[in-house]
Amino acid sequence: MKSFKAIVHKIVTNQNIKNTLTIALGGIIGSFFSYLLLFFLGRKLDVQTYGLYSSLISLSTLLVIPTEILGISIIKRTSELAATKELNRFAGFFYSLIGFALLISIILFTGINLAGPFIQTKLQIADSTIITVFAVLTGLTFPSGIFTASLKGLTKYTASAVYNMVFSSLRMTFALIPLYMGLGLVSIFSGMSVALVISFTLAIVLVNVAINKADFKNIKRDYKKLFIFGLPAALLAITQTYLTNMDIVLVRRYFDPQLTGYYAGAVTLGKLFLFGCTSVATVMYPQVVAEHARKKNPVKVFVQLFKIQFGLILTCLFVYLTFPELISQVFFGAAFDASVPYIRTYAIFIALFIIMNFFSLYLLAVEKTKVFGLFLPAMAFQYIYITLAHENLHNIIIGNIIAVLVIIGLLVGAFAKNHQDHWAQELRKAHSLLFGKLG
């Protein structure tokens, strides 16, 4: 009984677990609103329109990869400044980033509109107005990543969770109003854009809670570090985003709109799994960066949080493998029953992707910046496999799984190599302990 109480006490007082639960709670509530939105979209829109919505959101994700690039770099730079107590310096860095993000937003909006006819043709879109509002939404998504990355880098996990919950609730509200007025995708995307603008104000307030007077003296130096680290972070973000979105774009290209909608349904349910479990990596990354900046060994942080990560993965995977029909019925109703055969397989892909993401973020945090190179063969394989073997939707998911398994094998090898001295020391300790007891 005492040992059980000790275990419970250790769990309750463990700061990593507390941080994980805070991010997870914010993620779960935020995801609830996000998936409630998708729930109503799936119920109210016909299958073909929902497939178009999913394809455009996936395309938007690919186009705002620079958000992921800057996000990873900002978390790293912010964590370093926080670890060395240079928050005023971060303030100047943050305010300058807002102007930069708005400039990128304008470039994205202009580029999407110029490419409008091409996008319409490839994605079989009849109404050109959809492209215009899609461009607005995609452009506004970029600054949002700046704010969330800043909060995570400062390890303000509660503030980050609050922002996530508020933004998700606003996006759901402003999208559902036009949906139930029967106004279609143009108004839905417009409502989501309004939610982003409102959320920006909250984000600036939340970041200001953590910082004081802005110091702009070292902006050039900070930007130099940001962009030096930004290139490998960019390549990693591109590869990861590619792996979870290119399949959807290619499905839209090779399959009819009805099947695309069913595949989008399976992907949506699979990403419930993804967003529910990645909170652990969100907690891990800035902590490993800070430990590395202090010249300490971050393996202990990695091992402790990976145990939590693996436990979450097993729990979620059990639910998806056991109750796919129930999950689909609760979320979509009968309209997406044809998505059920793909849910189990896609859940396995997502489980493997989460493990891959955890290892890759750790290696990036300890400045193993060439980690992106491990993804390139798998990316090429995924594209070629889908292009040549798209007889059915199961083949698409199998291609995804093989690609991620290859990457995990390479990442584990890189991790072991990077910490071979640590593992050798642990083996010596185990050897001494074992033979000491035998003696």
Predicted local confidence at residue 127, as pLDDT: 79
Is the Cβ–Cβ distance between 23 and 277 less than 8 Å?
no
Answer yes or no: is 342 within a domain.
yes
| Encoded amino acid at 382, one letter | Q
pLDDT at 428 over 70: no
Position with higher pLDDT, 340 vs 373: 340
> Which of 3-12, 209-218, 409-418, 430-439 has the highest average model confidence (pLDDT)?
409-418
Position with higher pLDDT, 178 vs 437: 178
Is the Cβ–Cβ distance between 128 and 116 less than 8 Å?
yes
Answer yes or no: is 404 within a domain.
yes
Predicted local confidence at residue 40, as pLDDT: 85
Answer yes or no: is 177 within a domain.
yes
Question: Mean pLDDT, to the nearest integer, of 171-180?
Answer: 89
Predicted local confidence at residue 431, as pLDDT: 47
In the chain, the number of structural domains is: 1
| Encoded amino acid at 233, one letter | A
Answer yes or no: is 428 within a domain.
no
Predicted local confidence at residue 238, as pLDDT: 75
Place of tokens 């069913």: 262
Measured distance CA(346)–CA(321) in Å, rounded: 10
Tokens representing 117 are 């006819």
Answer yes or no: is 332 within a domain.
yes
Three-state DSSP at 128 gives helix
DSSP character at residue 367: T
Distance of CA 158 to the CA centre of its chain: 18
Position with higher pLDDT, 13 vs 113: 113
**Overall pTM surpassing 0.75 (yes/no):** no
Measured distance CA(394)–CA(62) in Å, rounded: 23
Question: Mean pLDDT, to the nearest integer, of 247-252?
Answer: 82
Distance of CA 14 to the CA centre of its chain: 25
Is the Cβ–Cβ distance between 364 and 371 less than 8 Å?
yes
pLDDT-based confidence at residue 180 (cuts at 50, 70, 90): confident
pLDDT at 360 over 80: yes
pLDDT at 19 over 70: no
Predicted local confidence at residue 420, as pLDDT: 65
Predicted local confidence at residue 165, as pLDDT: 84
Measured distance CA(2)–CA(8) in Å, rounded: 10
Position with higher pLDDT, 188 vs 249: 188
Measured distance CA(237)–CA(229) in Å, rounded: 12
Place of tokens 């455009």: 56
Predicted local confidence at residue 210, as pLDDT: 52
Range of the domain at 184: 2-422
Query: What's the pLDDT tens digit per position in 365-376?
Result: 887 777 777 788
Answer yes or no: is 438 within a domain.
no
**Could you please report the per-residue DSSP string of 69-85?**
HHHHHHHHHHHHHHHTT
DSSP character at residue 335: G
**Could you please report the per-residue DSSP string of 220-253?**
HHHHHHHHHHHHHHHHHHHHHHHHHHHHHHHHHH
Measured distance CA(346)–CA(243) in Å, rounded: 13
Predicted local confidence at residue 178, as pLDDT: 87
pLDDT at 1 over 50: no
Query: What's the pLDDT tens digit per position in 120-139?
Result: 887 778 778 888 888 888 88
Answer yes or no: is 295 within a domain.
yes
> Which of 124-138, 194-208, 280-294, 409-423 has the highest average model confidence (pLDDT)?
124-138
Distances 321 to 324, 336, 355 between C-alpha atoms, Å: 6, 17, 18
Q: Is 13 exposed, middle or buried (0-12, 13-18, 19+ CB in 10 A)?
A: exposed
Tokens representing 358 are 């955890």
Q: Is the dihedral of CA 361, 208, 92, 95 positive or negative?
A: positive
Q: What is the largest CA-CA distance in the chain?
A: 80
Measured distance CA(398)–CA(380) in Å, rounded: 15
Is the Cβ–Cβ distance between 400 and 381 less than 8 Å?
no
Answer yes or no: is 431 within a domain.
no
pLDDT at 145 over 80: no
pLDDT at 85 over 50: yes
Measured distance CA(2)–CA(111) in Å, rounded: 64
Report the length, in residues, of the chain.
439
